[in-house]
Amino acid sequence: MARSRVLLVNPPIQDFTACDFWLRPYGMLRVAGRIQHACDLDVFDFLVSRTTDAWGRGRFPDEVVARPRAFQDIPRRFRRFGRPRDEFRQLLRSRRFDAVLVQTMMTYWYPGLREVIEDVRRFQPDAAIVLGGVYTTLLPSHARSLGAGLVVQGSDLAPLFRLLAIDAKDALPYWNGSLRQVGVMKLTEGCPFRCTYCAVPLTTPDFTSRPVSECLEEFRALARLGARDVAFYDDALLFNSGDCLAPFLRSVIGEKIGLSFHTPNALNARFISPEIAALMVRAGFASFFIGLENSAEEWQRRTGGKLSREEFREAVAVLRSAGARYICAYALIGHPDVELDEVEATMRFAHDQGARVLLSEFAPVPGTPDGGRCRQWADIEEPLSHNKTAFTIRRFGVQQVNRMKALCRQLNSQVPRGEQPC
């Protein structure tokens, strides 16, 4: 039987803002690893940075495009981020594919998926189109309306394997040119907490740790492929750290490979002990992003009880003592229950502890308790209304949002030069 030729696509983004914050199509690459023994694979990644900083982060090519009708009230330029559409069309003209697998992420990025589907339908009308990822799991009916042949929900890949008529095998992710200095990986799946604003309980309801030997094999492969920075995509990297993270880090330290590690998905301050902080610093963690969100104790209790002010304060002190140089706290703006005075208090609290602040705009997640309470500002049935920039502006107005961003920059400018990012 002839091997299926499969095209993997990381689609372009249409949004007000987007940047390469260690952004790689990890889920799609893991799926590709499981089918590479039986299929001939090609990858088209729209999201290739033009330039990168010392940590491998960068900016995507972009162009201003017309704002969708849903954003006519938002006084921001709307852009398409990613490689030119003609490059993708040229590939579709030059090779035949039996199936096209498209990665999905934010629900409100579906216009980029629609663009990919339109081009595949035009130039490869016989190819099966498969969508999978966060958007398809949260909004499967809306995803089906785009015209794909198969919409994969959650981690159930059996329909995909039946479509390709193959038996999947456990294997390393299929990087094949997608690395570009930055590798990403996960030691765990899911999260034990049930924060009322978070998508993870819906997309990955159970928490599990991966086998340490499997994680080390993946890490060594990233090093062989030339990775200099590795970002962990775990949603609860520190939970039950004795099961996987601690032994993984001890092995990394022993092997002296010398990569830099980052935590863009945020760490839970509650689990930053002196022992784990020391291991992380010795292993090469260059940045520590902590999910503070809001410093108000009552808000924390009401939304899941993830951490307390004292736990955050102690975590920053512990990291400093261990030698961490870059510590950053996420502060949430736009949540339906949080007014601007609380946002400002959260930023100042994090700053007072010695952490930098990253202002994180709230995006309503359909199916979550807090997402359902955002109808005053958003049409939850229309994914474009989930857009974080648009939602936050509708919540507070442009001037107030700009004022909070200016305060954030002011606070961060006071961080000593030695604590600035590379």
> In this model, does residue 292 exceed pLDDT 90?
yes
Note whether 86 and 229 are same-domain residues: no
Tokens of 182: 């930055």
In tens, the pLDDT along 54-74 reads 999 999 999 999 999 999 999
Cα separation of 172 and 32, whole Å? 9
Note whether 248 and 202 are same-domain residues: yes
Residue-wise DSSP of 166-234: ----------TT--TTEEEE-SEES-S---TT-SHHHH--S-EEPPHHHHHHHHHHHHHTT-SEEEE--
Beta strands in 285-415 (DSSP E): 288-293, 327-333, 356-361
Note whether 271 and 375 are same-domain residues: yes
**Into how many domains does the chain fold?**
2
The overall pTM is greater than 0.75: yes
Q: How confident is the model at residue 178 (pLDDT cuts 50, 70, 90)?
A: confident
Q: How confident is the model at residue 51 (pLDDT cuts 50, 70, 90)?
A: confident
Instruction: Assess if residue 293 is contained within a domain.
Output: yes
pLDDT at 50: 85
The alpha carbon of 165 is separated from its chain's Cα centroid by a whole number of angstroms, namely 31
Q: Residue 95 carries which DSSP code?
A: -
**Residues 6+ positions from 363 with CB-CB distance below 8 Å:** 106, 108, 334, 386, 387, 388, 391
> In this model, does residue 420 exceed pLDDT 60?
no
Residues composing the chain: 422
> In this model, does residue 418 exceed pLDDT 80?
no
Tokens of 227: 């990775």
Instruction: Assess if residue 177 is contained within a domain.
Output: no
b/e code 297-333 from CB counts within 10 Å (16+ = b): eebbeebbebbebebbbbbbebbbebebbbbbbbbbb
Note whether 67 and 204 are same-domain residues: no
**Residues 6+ positions from 11 with CB-CB distance below 8 Å:** 46, 82, 102, 103, 104, 109, 112, 113, 115, 116
Instruction: Assess if residue 173 is contained within a domain.
Output: no
Mean pLDDT along residues 156-170: 95
Note whether 242 and 329 are same-domain residues: yes
CB 250 within 8 A of CB 282: no
Instruction: Assess if residue 170 is contained within a domain.
Output: no
pLDDT at 1: 62
> In this model, does residue 417 exceed pLDDT 60?
no
Instruction: Assess if residue 193 is contained within a domain.
Output: yes
Q: How confident is the model at residue 415 (pLDDT cuts 50, 70, 90)?
A: confident
Instruction: Assess if residue 169 is contained within a domain.
Output: no
Averaged confidence pLDDT in the chain: 95
Note whether 98 and 147 are same-domain residues: yes
Residue at a domain's end among 134, 164, 194? 164
Report the candidate in 412, 269, 415 with the shortest Cα–Cα distance to residue 347.
412
In tens, the pLDDT along 348-398 reads 999 999 999 999 999 999 999 999 999 999 998 899 999 999 999 999 999
Report the candidate in 188, 266, 252, 187 with the shortest Cα–Cα distance to residue 223.
252
Tokens of 307: 């951490």
How buried is residue 47: exposed, middle or buried, by Cβ count under 10 Å (0-12/13-18/19+)?
buried
Note whether 259 and 134 are same-domain residues: no
Note whether 276 and 399 are same-domain residues: yes
Element (H, E) at 102: strand 99-104
pLDDT at 2: 79
Instruction: Assess if residue 8 is contained within a domain.
Output: yes
Note whether 132 and 47 are same-domain residues: yes
Note whether 91 and 240 are same-domain residues: no
Neighbours of 168 (CB within 10 A): 16
> In this model, does residue 422 exceed pLDDT 50?
no
Note whether 152 and 225 are same-domain residues: no
Q: What is the CATH number of the domain that holds 145?
A: 3.40.50.280
Instruction: Assess if residue 175 is contained within a domain.
Output: no
What range defines the domain where residue 69 resides? Answer: 4-164
Note whether 188 and 147 are same-domain residues: no
In tens, the pLDDT along 137-151 reads 999 999 999 999 999
Q: What is the CATH number of the domain that holds 207?
A: 3.20.20.70
Neighbours of 294 (CB within 10 A): 24
